[in-house]
Amino acid sequence: MAQRTTLQEFETVFPKLEEALLEHAKTYNIPLEALNWYKKSLEVNTVGGKCNRGMSVPDSASLLLGRPLTEEEYFKAATLGWLTELLQAFFLVSDDIMDSSITRRGKPCWYRQEGVGMIAINDAFMLESSIYSLLKKYFRDHPCYVNFLELFHEVTFQTEIGQLCDLITAPEDNVNLNNFSMEKYRFIVIYKTAYYSFYLPVALALYMLNIATPQNLKQAEDILIPLGEYFQVQDDYLDNFGLPEHIGKIGTDIMDNKCSWLVNQALTIVTPEQRRVLEENYGRKDKDKEAAVKKLYDELKLEQRYKDYEEKVVGEIRGMIAKVDESQGLKKGVFEAFLDKIYKRSK
Amino acid sequence: MAQRTTLQEFETVFPKLEEALLEHAKTYNIPLEALNWYKKSLEVNTVGGKCNRGMSVPDSASLLLGRPLTEEEYFKAATLGWLTELLQAFFLVSDDIMDSSITRRGKPCWYRQEGVGMIAINDAFMLESSIYSLLKKYFRDHPCYVNFLELFHEVTFQTEIGQLCDLITAPEDNVNLNNFSMEKYRFIVIYKTAYYSFYLPVALALYMLNIATPQNLKQAEDILIPLGEYFQVQDDYLDNFGLPEHIGKIGTDIMDNKCSWLVNQALTIVTPEQRRVLEENYGRKDKDKEAAVKKLYDELKLEQRYKDYEEKVVGEIRGMIAKVDESQGLKKGVFEAFLDKIYKRSK
Ligand SMILES: [Mg+2]
Ligand SMILES: [Mg+2]
Ligand SMILES: [Mg+2]
Ligand SMILES: [Mg+2]
Ligand SMILES: [Mg+2]
Ligand SMILES: [Mg+2]
């Protein structure tokens, strides 16, 4: 039987990785102030999240093996999990600057912390570099070392083109609904989120166990990308229709001119008059204008539209999972575990 | 006989690499606006410099082989050269944001160009990712593929820790000369500049020709790092003592609170009264205060001090070059070529 990891267990691995990273920096005789800065950036930016992405590497590995991981296997899988968290930290630190965000995980964004400012850009780079230091230290002798390197390079680039498309499609200071379309929405969501959040952890587990055959990778991608898309659609839905006490924040997608599933759905069904309501009220930092958009979303029955979408897409995903060929070591349970965590979540 | 490349010849290779990068992005069905944005960022940020770093890869390869490169060898070496230019582009785009710089190569910095702003951060990431796309396309079958990947990772991290130390030692808005020291100066210069500008191109040529033995790499590092340090000291010297018509700009290191060789040398020899002059005038955006520092530099005879340093360090480097063991295919000529380009330059 497989075994699920806990956040507490997963977090016990981090200090060892941090130690390895600081030791690596020390080999260059880095001045103490710079070493301490790196240490603080690692701790503040990498630790403290929910670690769903990171924990899904050991969870997937255990499901693939059909048994609990040995201590050594757990350490390797959790290390790969922390690499996905480092990749996310690299993206979040820089995304917060690009989005002029104020808080992250209930604290000021890193670039807004005392004395940091634009040095955060270089800190983001160092978080990314940390991935490759750790891969070299712990996986250099793994038969899939080159595959690990290439996988991180590719997923990094995929996330960057998703970000680029997001940034030029929905600039906060220039509302233009003509930029939006369901096609662009899907591209942004798949590249900006789905590859690194869903495909990457499973691909890492497959490589770690030496069962990353082309067929297994392809099956994983074919299921996890739609699953990641569904996850983001849900995120956009909850931003407007979720309960703040569940999602832990008050949604701001409408005021932030976000290229959200809701506005893109609305655009496909609005009358010309309703479109004018959107044109005049979307993406403005104004509570009344936001309320006008929310009212339109209700008129357009977007809540029901989301629920219909959810049933349809979950049905399709279940259908794909049922057809998974397990002959090369892939397991349906890996995908079922992801789906169970996501389906009808309220937070 | 070896043959030196020209900027024109080197630049003819770029369009092929750009094409390969755009083709790679197209495999993801990237929307056209995003593709065009990537293309523009590649062209504006990578092309148009002097390409000294990039051209030194084919030049070193030709010197190592003792003959002109074949067309295929030239393409490979120039590609590796363009990868060093991409790495530099990644660093310059972000450095300009972190330094609030206004112009780069006579044009507004990328982040200050129309509509770009903080999207430049993601553009910098994509320049870095381009290195790995091209390595995969052109070097995946090279016996040193993993070494190329690890070399870029390591040099990237070295440059980042140099940048970090520079950023926290000499913040533009907080002048504190106690932060400066020759020790920190050397760390910053070696890591921020010498590794990627001097060591990287030669190491790439050695790997390309399959003669990157530990001894050859070590000899290259032992000579090229002091050479790179000398180059940066010269840069700092020229910022104050060079002729604007030669160096193509008016130096601003004093007003910018730069951790320059000159101020660090001054700090080692000032009287308490002279130190007060530095404390009160260094790092201020004020022409009169800058003039007071310049006058102090003259009193301290820093020009002569630089000339003495130059003779001493060049003597040491020549001594090391003379002792190079060429038995594993390394050639003294590689280092002589670098030194000849640098010694007593006025621009
Ligand atoms: Mg954001
Ligand atoms: Mg964003
Ligand atoms: Mg959201
Ligand atoms: Mg700068
Ligand atoms: Mg700088
Ligand atoms: Mg300079």
pLDDT bracket for residue A174 (50, 70, 90): confident
The span from the CA of B284 to the CA of A103, in Å, is 33
Task: Give the 3-state secondary structure of residue B342.
Answer: helix
Q: Which residue of A has its CA nearest to B190?
A: A28
Is the separation of the CB atoms in A31 and A84 below 8 Å? no
Nearest CA-CA distance, residue B100 and chain A, Å: 9
pTM for the model stands at: 0.97
- Per-residue pLDDT, A2: 85
Please give the mean pLDDT across all residues of chain A. Answer: 96
- Looking at residues B197-211, what average pLDDT do you find? 98
**pLDDT of A5 strictly over 80:** yes
- Per-residue pLDDT, B151: 98
- Which residues of A have a CB under 8 Å from any CB of B? 25, 28-31, 33-34, 37-38, 94, 97-98, 100, 118-119, 121-126, 129, 132-133, 136, 145-146, 149-150, 153, 156-158, 160-161, 163-165, 167-169, 183-184, 187, 191
Other C-beta atoms within 10 Å of A75: how many? 17
Is the separation of the CB atoms in A56 and A339 below 8 Å? no
Strands A103-104 and A107-108 come out as antiparallel
- Per-residue pLDDT, B1: 82
- Per-residue pLDDT, A195: 98
Nearest CA-CA distance, residue B337 and chain A, Å: 28
| Chain B residues near residue A145 by CB distance under 8 angstroms | 146
Q: Retrieve residue A227's tokens.
A: 């699953």
**pLDDT of B248 strictly over 90:** no
Is the separation of the CB atoms in A35 and A19 below 8 Å? no
| Matching residue, tokens 């339109």 | A296
Enumerate long-range contacts of B291-294, CB under 8 Å, 24 or more apart: B293/B254, B293/B263, B294/B240, B294/B254
Q: Which pLDDT tens digit goes with each residue over B97-120?
A: 999 999 998 899 999 999 999 999
For helices B214-241 and B200-208, give the axis angle rounded to 10 degrees.
150
Q: What's the distance, Cα to Cα, between the start and end of chain B in Å?
A: 28
| Chain A residues near residue B123 by CB distance under 8 angstroms | 164
- Per-residue pLDDT, B153: 98
Distance B7 CA to ligand 2 centre (A): 38
- Per-residue pLDDT, B40: 98
Alpha helices in chain B (DSSP H): 7-26, 32-46, 52-65, 71-98, 119-139, 145-169, 182-189, 200-208, 214-241, 244-247, 261-269, 272-281, 287-299, 302-322, 332-342
- Per-residue pLDDT, A244: 83
- Looking at residues A102-122, what average pLDDT do you find? 95
Give residue A73's region: left, alpha or beta (phi > 0; psi -120 to 50). Answer: alpha
- Per-residue pLDDT, A248: 79
Amino acid at A282: Y
Q: Which pLDDT tens digit goes with each residue over B254-300?
A: 999 999 999 999 999 999 999 999 999 999 999 999 999 999 999 99
**CA-based nearest residue to A123, from A169, A89, A156:** A89
Tally C-beta pairs within 8 A across A and B: 125
- Per-residue pLDDT, A48: 96
**pLDDT of B208 strictly over 80:** yes
A111-123 burial, b for 16+ CB within 10 Å, e for fewer?
bbeeebbbbbbbb
Please identify which of the residues A235, A239, A253, A256 carries the catalytic annotation: A235
pLDDT bracket for residue A246 (50, 70, 90): confident
Q: Retrieve residue B211's tokens.
A: 């003669």
- Per-residue pLDDT, A326: 98
**CA-based nearest residue to A201, from A2, A54, A50, A6:** A54
Q: Which pLDDT tens digit goes with each residue over B76-100?
A: 999 999 999 999 999 999 999 999 9
Is the separation of the CB atoms in A184 and B31 below 8 Å? yes
Share of chain B above pLDDT 90, in %: 92
Catalytic residue at A157?
no
- Looking at residues B36-51, what average pLDDT do you find? 97
